[in-house]
Structure 1
Amino acid sequence: MKPLLGLTVAGAVALPGALAAQETIPLTVASSHPTTIPWVGMIQTHFMAKIDEILAETGNYEIDWQEAFGGQLYKANATLSSVEDGITDIGWVFSLLEGGQLPLSQIGSYTPFATNNPPVQLEVMQELLDTNAAFADEWEQYNVVVLGLTGTDSYDIYTKEPIESFEDLEGMKISAPGALANWLRGTGANAVDGSLTTFYTDIQTGVSDGVLSLALGVLPAKLYEVAPYVTQVNMGVAFSGAIAANRDVWDGLPEEVQNAMVEAGNYYTEAHGQDLLERHAFALDKIQELGADQDPPVTLAVMPEETRQAWVQALPNIAAEWAEATGPEAPGFLDSYMEGLRARGEEPLRAWDDELTN
């Protein structure tokens, strides 16, 4: 167990009559990905900044942030354990790569074409975290406190060669993160495991022919340079993880600081979801603009609706497979997730929950 880093008193020379001195709390915040990735950058600009703003209202506490973004402390394959073990006090947990430890968190990865609306999905996931004991326990058992949720914008295909028909996917090697490889099953493509930190090199060196990824990740990672053919599939958004605090550190924080972090986490989740929604189209436009003069230039093609329907129907019943492998709590969790989407106006292209009994 890692003890809370020592509190220090700010302003050793206080004015006469001062009732209390401000306490400075050193905390390390880290991630596997760089701040050029939007949801990581927003940890600084929204989560941390909001905490600082809230605490400044009373002046009782100040956080001395020790930043270790961009894989300085841990890589993408160790995000959960690094927060759990106190390698960092607060960190981004990349749940897409933690399927064995966080199986319920993979729900979005096993229900493609269900929603392209990040704010709605994050709202549903927060509701489930607040109301579903199995989901909350899934995170809490790893000695972490979830503070803010992260998701993705909608996924598309970026390749070295154009995709002109559904059949063109046959035999292609497509990089995909973790459980999202399931979205390629039934297409004839071969999934190659990876993440935004490895995709560029994998495509450049021929390990893969392209990537299943999202515009807000492709843009800063410059994947369009090596995969200039963009096929806009609108496969859906996925729950990708959370900002989490080490439980031992959390328990040692003053209540005022804890409350500030909870409020900042909610603010981050809402702002992040809206940012994903608004910037997806911008990112696709920017990718085309930046790649216009390269050879070959970036080319975007929108996948026809009938081809999207063919894709989703070609998939095996991955939601049922996930539910069976996850355990008895999974069917109810899936029902709640899909109904949560529908209650907010979403129209899934495939009723994954209805197929559990078929």
Structure 2
Amino acid sequence: MEPVTLKFGESSGPNSAAGQALTAYAERVAERTDGKVKIEFFFANSLLESNAIFPALGDGVADIATVAISQSAEQLPVMNWISAGSSTLSPEFPLSQMQALPAETQVFSDNADVTNELDDQNVKMLLAGLSGGFSPAVCSKPVRNLDDAKGVRIRVVGELHAQEARALGMEPVQTSSSEIFEALQRGVIDCATASDGGHNFIALGLLDVAEYYLPLKLSPTGGTSYQMNLDSWTGLPEEAQKILLEELGGYAADRLRGNLEGYGEMVDLIDERGIEWLDASDLNRTLREAQEKNVEEIYADPPNAVSDPDTLINEYEEALATWLETIQDFLTAEPLAADADPETMKEAYRNADESIDFEGLSQELGSYFKDLAG
């Protein structure tokens, strides 16, 4: 084959867990293709902002990109609709982080309605479920209960997070990741979420300006995925296509390990900087009730592009259940209960990267992506 360089638009920075895992992924792809498939990364939205990347991906501005489904809901109504069920991921840490990627990738790869809407946009999905963790927040003011939450301006991602914030009495603000630091520093927002927390809070510099850590459980940003321009995909030889897919298993395990290491680093920085760790138990109970209601209402009103809503819902729920059972074999410690107290939570975060058999998990995910590659 002729050498090719694929342009990859990524929202995270190069030193984030995602950035480091992607760099290692690109090295493996280049090695297996004898240097004929190279990946050039445009980290931290340096190619285009995240809310503009999806339309540009179909037009070929990028070959591969991170796509936040919540920011592309109009073009991807099926994926956006079923992804509303992300709040039904296991609330126990780190199970949701382990569960989301293989489960959502399976559903989106197998369902004809999803494939059709991606084809219409001239893109192919490589993997999904990138942001499987429930989203916590950091704040510049204390938010200990629903009274404190009233009127608090919180940066969110997409309409689902916005609905959940309103259920707490907060005022949702949508802004790109590159603008969060300045917004929190200048008081444009009072709190900021970041998918999975951990490395993302550190990479964005938010612990430099935050005074409080609020362990909310806003829904994972379901459906966040790596997608590829369809022309770029079909232009590759079949063997190169297989390599791109097969190496995603190692990427997924690397990213998970980096994310969990980030939680430990985050706890150390929080303690070092005197950031107060708030108890969000009461807020999360209200949030859970709102999430259950939201999922019920959203699933009762499917978009026209969904040919069989009940079947798609069942596929999503079955994939979550199957992968939850599978991944528990690779836990080496008890998962953190959803209602754990702050001190128990801190201890679990510090030891998170030691709570998983990463070698076994990597082999399991690698086997799945090899099957997906055919």
Q: 1:26 to 1:311 in 2, by over 3 A?
A: closer
1:154 aligns with 2:131: no
| Aligned-residue RMSD, C-alpha | 2.8
| Contact 1:196-1:217 within 8 A present in 2 as well | no
Q: Secondary structure at the match of 1:29?
A: strand
Q: Distance in 1 between matches of 2:283 and 2:5?
A: 53
Match among 76, 87, 92 for residue 112 of structure 1: 87
Cα distance, 1:113 vs structure 2: 5.9
Q: Which residue among 63, 71, 79 is the counterpart of 1:89?
A: 63
Cα offsets for 1:97-139 (capped at 9, x unmatched): 2122223333444543642411211121122023211122232
Superposition pairs of residues 4-23 of structure 1, within 5 angstroms? 23=2
Q: Taking structure 2 as the reference length, what is the TM-score of the superposition?
A: 0.75
Alignment of 1:283-298 (within 5 A): 283-289=265-271, 292=273, 297-298=274-275
Q: 1:336 to 1:53 in 2, by over 3 A?
A: same
Q: Which residue of 2 aligns with 1:125?
A: 104
* Contact 2:138/2:192 (8 A) holds in 1: yes
Q: Which has the higher strand share?
A: 1
CA distance in 2, matches of 1:253, 1:63: 9
* 2:360 matched residue in structure 1: none
- Equivalent residue pairs, number: 316
Q: Which has the larger radius of gyration?
A: 1
Deviation at 1:177, TM superposition (A): 1.1
Q: Work out which of the residue numbers 260, 263, 279 in structure 1 matches 2:261.
A: 279
- Offset of residue 81 of structure 1: 1.5
- Cα separation, 1, equivalents of 2:180 and 2:121: 29
- In the superposition, the TM-score normalised over structure 1's length comes to 0.78
1:153/1:215 contact within 8 Å kept: no
Measured at CA, do residues 87 and 181 of structure 1 come closer, stay the same or move farther in structure 2, by a change above 3 Å?
same
Residue among 261, 264, 268 paired with 2:251: 268
**What residue ranges of structure 2 are gaps of 5+ in the alignment?**
329-334, 339-374
For 2:146, the equivalent position in structure 1 comes to: 166
Shift, 1:236, TM fit: 4.6
Q: Which moved more, 1:106-115 or 1:207-216?
A: 106-115
Show structure 1 runs of 5+ residues with no match: 1-6, 8-22, 350-358
CA distance in 2, matches of 1:109, 1:285: 29
Is 1:336 the counterpart of 2:315? The answer is yes
| 1:20 corresponds to | none
Shift in CA distance, 335/248, structure 1 to aligned 2, threshold 3 Å: same
Residue 181 of structure 1 pairs with residue 162 of structure 2:
yes
Indicate which of 215, 221, 231 corresponds to 1:238. Answer: 221
What per-residue deviation string (whole Å, max 9, x for no partner) do you get for residues 169-228 of structure 1? 111111101132222132111111123222112222222111133233111101122222
Other-structure match for 2:242: 259
Q: Find the counterpart in structure 1 of residue 181 from structure 2.
A: 200
- Indicate conservation of the 8 Å contact 1:186/1:315, yes or no: no
Partner of 2:75, secondary structure, is: coil
Distance 1:288 1:203, change over 3 A: same
Structure (1 or 2) with the greater helix fraction: 2
Deviations 1:264-309 (A, max 9, x none): 2343234434543x3353143144145x1xxxx31112323x5422
Partner SS for 1:342: helix
Contact 2:214–2:277 under 8 Å retained in 1? yes
Partners of 1:154 and 1:235 within 8 A in 2: yes
- Judged with a 3 Å threshold, the aligned counterparts in structure 2 of structure 1 residues 135 and 51 are, in CA distance, closer, same or farther, namely same
Q: Check 1:157–1:92 CA distance in 2 against 1; reply closer, same or farther (3 A cut).
A: closer
Shift of 1:257: 1.2
Provide the identity percentage.
18
Moved more, 136-145 or 157-166: 136-145
- The answer as to whether partners of 1:152 and 1:240 remain within 8 angstroms in 2 is no
Residues in 2 aligned to 1:143 and 1:244: alpha-carbon distance in whole angstroms = 10
Equivalents in 2 of 1:38, 1:275: separation in Å? 5
Distance in 1 separating the partners of 2:190 and 2:256 = 30
What secondary structure is seen at the aligned counterpart in 2 of 1:192?
Answer: strand
Rate the CA distance shift 1:118–1:136 in 2: closer, same or farther, 3 A: farther
> Distance in 2 between the 1:76 and 1:340 partners?
28
Counterparts of residues 314-329 of structure 1 (less than 5 Å): 314=290, 317-323=293-299, 324=301, 326-327=303-304, 328=306, 329=308
CA–CA separation in structure 2 for the residues paired with 1:120 and 1:63: 30
User: Which of 195, 199, 206 is residue 216 of structure 1 equivalent to?
Assistant: 199
Residues 1:51 and 2:29 are matched in the alignment: yes
Establish whether residue 302 from structure 1 lines up as the match of residue 279 from structure 2.
yes
Q: Is the 8 A contact 2:167 2:286 kept in 1?
A: no
Preserved CA contact (<8 Å) 2:57 2:65: yes
Moved more, 280-289 or 75-84: 280-289
Deviates more, 1:84-93 or 1:37-46: 37-46
Q: Report SS of the residue matched to 1:302.
A: coil
Query: SS at the partner of 2:224?
Result: strand
